[in-house]
Amino acid sequence: MNDFTFFSPTKFIFGREAIDALGGELSKRFFRKALIVYGGASAVKSGVLKRVKESLDANGVAYEEMGGVRPNPELQQVRAGIELLRSSKCDCLLPVGGGSVIDCAKAIAFGADYDGDVWDFFDGKAKITKCLPIAVVLTLPAAGSEGSASCVISNDAISAKRGVGADIIRPILAFMDPETTFSLPPYQTAAGVTDMIAHICERYFSGQGPALVTDALAASLIRTLIASAPKALADPRDYEARAAIMWAGTLAHNDLVGCGRASSAKTRAGGWESHALEHELSAIDPKITHGAGLAVVMPAWMRYVVDADPSRFIAFGRDVFGIAPADSSDESVKAAASETINRLQEFFVSMGMPRSLKEFGLEESSIDQLLDGLEKSKGKVFGAFKPLGREDARAIYKSAF
């Protein structure tokens, strides 16, 4: 087991009564005014926003609100949020929604006390040293942002989507009521589950270890997701399935399943290759859902890198799917590794996720644009399981069409 630091400071309040605890939790921390951030219509339609406001009112916490955050949140909205936060003198952020809303709120929270433009943080020109407290009401389990140290923002003007990470942007509170996810459409449910599995796999295939406890947790989380997703898709109001998915999404990305799999105690586990490849897709077309993009690029990445260490795929196949090579010959190992990747992709497809980049309306002619973006955000060579250069990435994108 490699050295690690595990820091998960968020207080998670989970269950049917979670949202009602919101106002009390904020007031006992002496917050006086929250900036509520939400997306399009879902939080209004479901009544979650109303419940949030009722809880704030009941506990004497004032609020300002900013709605309309789009999926794959955009820089202009962050800038507008920073202006609003400064003029309204809010002392904490209260995102109500999924990863996009939470990340928009995070960027507002660390951009508010910075004199320059908030994109500087995403461009490597500034380091996050201050951040207002963030309390999350999660309505879409997927990105894991409710417990993560990451924030991902798109900049449409330059067709870029970039992430930043810092422990101080981890939310201090997360209110998670699985019933708020009953209204999720099948596509978002499936994309969310895919994203969670990708968060676990990015760390599992980090090229580091061994880390037995972490591996056992990783496999059991994925098995739980594979068992729960079809139940939630068949019956969107299946509380136990929704609850399992919601909590698995947090544990998939609060770094628990990275412990011992990073190269040092100061870094995050994994090279995040599939995420890097996917972020370029949603950078050039913000209508592409992050999890759906991952459903296509992650199996393509796996097939490209599997030969670097087939034994890791054999362990994954054994612990997640019960796949075993017929014998120890190279051919049998290869066949079992390949079956493992196929089974994972078939699971994504069975939930309604796409199999190829064509299904997004993308053309192979856009690969160079994707590669240009990738080079800007990740440099000339990236990846931990196997180092990848521009031509490797080209081959992966090509195989995904």
Element (H, E) at 176: strand 173-176
CA 80, CA 153: separation in Å to the nearest integer? 14
User: Which of these, 281, 290, 384, 295, lies nearest to 344 by C-alpha position?
Assistant: 295
Q: Kindly report the backbone phi and psi dihedral angles of residue 60, in degrees, each rounded to the nearest multiple of 5, phi listed first.
A: 65, 30
Phi-psi region of 164 (alpha: psi -120 to 50; beta: other; left: phi over 0): beta
Q: Could you give the CA distance from residue 145 to residue 169 in angstroms, rounded to a whole number?
A: 10
In the block, residue with structure tokens 């066949």 = 335
| Partner that binds at residue 297, options Zn ion, ligand NZQ, none, CB closer than 5 to 8 Å by kind | none
**Taking CB within 5 to 8 Å according to partner kind, which of ligand NZQ, Zn ion, none is near residue 100?**
ligand NZQ
Minimum distance, C-beta of residue 290 to Zn ion, in the bound complex (Å): 6
- Name the residue nearer to Zn ion (CB basis): 299 or 325: 299
The DSSP string of 319-331 is III----SSSSHH
Of 63 and 321, CB closest to ligand NZQ: 63
Minimum Å distance from CB 352 to ligand NZQ? 15
Instruction: Determine contact, residues 251/41, Cβ cutoff 8 Å.
Output: no
Residue 362 binds what, of ligand NZQ, Zn ion, none (CB under 5 to 8 Å, by partner type)?
none
**CA pair distance 190, 239, nearest whole angstrom:** 16
Considering the complex, state which of residue 101 and residue 302 has its C-beta at the smaller distance from ligand NZQ. Answer: 101
Using CA atoms, how far apart are residues 126 and 143, in angstroms rounded to an integer? Answer: 24
Q: Considering beta carbons, is residue 8 or 183 the nearer one to ligand NZQ?
A: 183
Cβ at position 250, least distance to ligand NZQ in Å = 11
Q: What residue 40 binds from ligand NZQ, Zn ion, none (CB within 5 to 8 A, per partner kind)?
A: ligand NZQ
96: how many CB neighbours lie within 10 A of its CB? 32
CB of 272 to ligand NZQ, least distance (A): 8
Residue whose CB is less far from Zn ion, 8 or 338:
8
31 three-state secondary structure: coil
Residue 100 or 340 with smaller CB distance to ligand NZQ: 100
Site size toward Zn ion (CB under 5 A) is: 1
Q: Which is nearer to ligand NZQ, 99 or 270 (CB)?
A: 99
Residues 381/387, Cβ–Cβ less than 8 Å: yes
Using the minimum distance from each CB to Zn ion, give the nearer residue, 195 or 392.
195
- State in angstroms the smallest separation of the CB of 140 from ligand NZQ: 4
Q: What are the tokens at 42?
A: 């879902």
**Whether the bond into 71 is cis, omega within 30 of 0:** no
**351 membership: H or E segment, kind and range:** none
The residue (of 290 and 312) whose beta carbon lies closer to ligand NZQ is: 290
Q: How far is the CB of 101 from ligand NZQ (least distance, A)?
A: 6
Give which of Zn ion, ligand NZQ, none residue 43 binds (C-beta under 5 to 8 Å, depending on kind). ligand NZQ
Main-chain dihedrals φ then ψ at residue 56, nearest 5 degrees: -65, -45
Q: Choosing among ligand NZQ, Zn ion, none, which partner's interface includes residue 39 (Cβ < 5 to 8 Å by kind)?
A: ligand NZQ
Closest to 209 in 3D by CA, of 47, 21, 3, 45: 3
Q: How far is the CB of 98 from Zn ion (least distance, A)?
A: 11
Which residues in this chain contact ligand NZQ in the complex, by CB under 6 A? 39-43, 46, 71-72, 97-101, 103, 139-140, 142-145, 148, 150-152, 180-181, 183-184, 188, 192, 195, 253, 275, 290-291
Give me the least distance between CB of 191 and ligand NZQ, in Å please: 6
Name the binder of 101 from ligand NZQ, Zn ion, none, CB < 5-8 A by kind: ligand NZQ
Q: Is 255 in the site for Zn ion (CB under 5 A)?
A: no
Residues 174-203 that bind Zn ion (CB under 5 A): 195
User: Residue 20 burial (CB < 10 Å; 0-12/13-18/19+)?
Assistant: middle
Q: Which residues bind Zn ion (CB under 5 A)?
A: 195
